[in-house]
Amino acid sequence: MTSSGAFFISFEGIDGAGKSSHIEAVHEALQQRGHRVLLTREPGGTELAEQLRALFLHQSMDALTEALLVFAARRDHLCQRILPALSRGETVLCDRFTDATFAYQGAGRGFDLAVLRQLETWVQDGRQPDLTLWFDLPPDVAAARRAAARAPDRLEREDLAFFERVREGYAQRFAEQPARFARVDSAASMDAVRAQVLQAVADKVG
């Protein structure tokens, strides 16, 4: 738990896993329980970080450039929004955070994990979410959901093998830090997924 009774909760998973569909339900549930809540996302969350997000999603670049852009956006996001909100006693709900970088740029792109860990140390100064909800879903199911929902961005156009590696990257982070994670079976029905999510949040927030 963070200082002042606030909590930092991240929502993770491959594109199409459903995390963004449930973050609003958590937002509403916490507000009804009297929490002050900041709802935000990565890359993004500040004016600068949103500009970097647009570059990240639509401009071609190599894995190192991707990682540097994401961590630059994360640093501004932490300094300008996340850390101030936590210091005020607010609960922060973030659509993606550091685990996405290890899953996408690390496992997906095959980028050096040691470099990512060093960047994580420099940028985050030890800050990790209090709870990470990992929406786990087979990549072929996620691809079908994405195709029915929206036009793909640069990363969403990657093939199934890429998203298999990303899923394995999330599984590795889960194995390394199980106390921080709650795995959500995102292949279940919408109501069943929502029940899993709200229970995991209730268990952490108390």
Integer Cα distance of 101 and 121 in angstroms: 13
Q: Residue holding tokens 């936590």?
A: 86
89 is in an annotated binding site: no
10 is in an annotated binding site: no
16 is in an annotated binding site: yes
| Count of C-beta atoms within a 10 Å radius of residue 115 | 15
Integer Cα distance of 118 and 203 in angstroms: 32
Integer Cα distance of 168 and 6 in angstroms: 30
45 is in an annotated binding site: no
139 contact partners, CB below 8 Å, separation of at least 6: 14, 160, 163, 164, 166, 167
Integer Cα distance of 13 and 153 in angstroms: 16
18 is in an annotated binding site: yes
62 is in an annotated binding site: no
Integer Cα distance of 122 and 168 in angstroms: 25
Integer Cα distance of 151 and 200 in angstroms: 31
149 is in an annotated binding site: no
Amino acid code (one letter) for 46: T
- Give the CA diameter of the chain: 44
108 is in an annotated binding site: no
Integer Cα distance of 79 and 56 in angstroms: 20
> Annotated binding site for ATP: which residue ranges?
13-20
> Annotated binding site: which residue ranges?
13-20
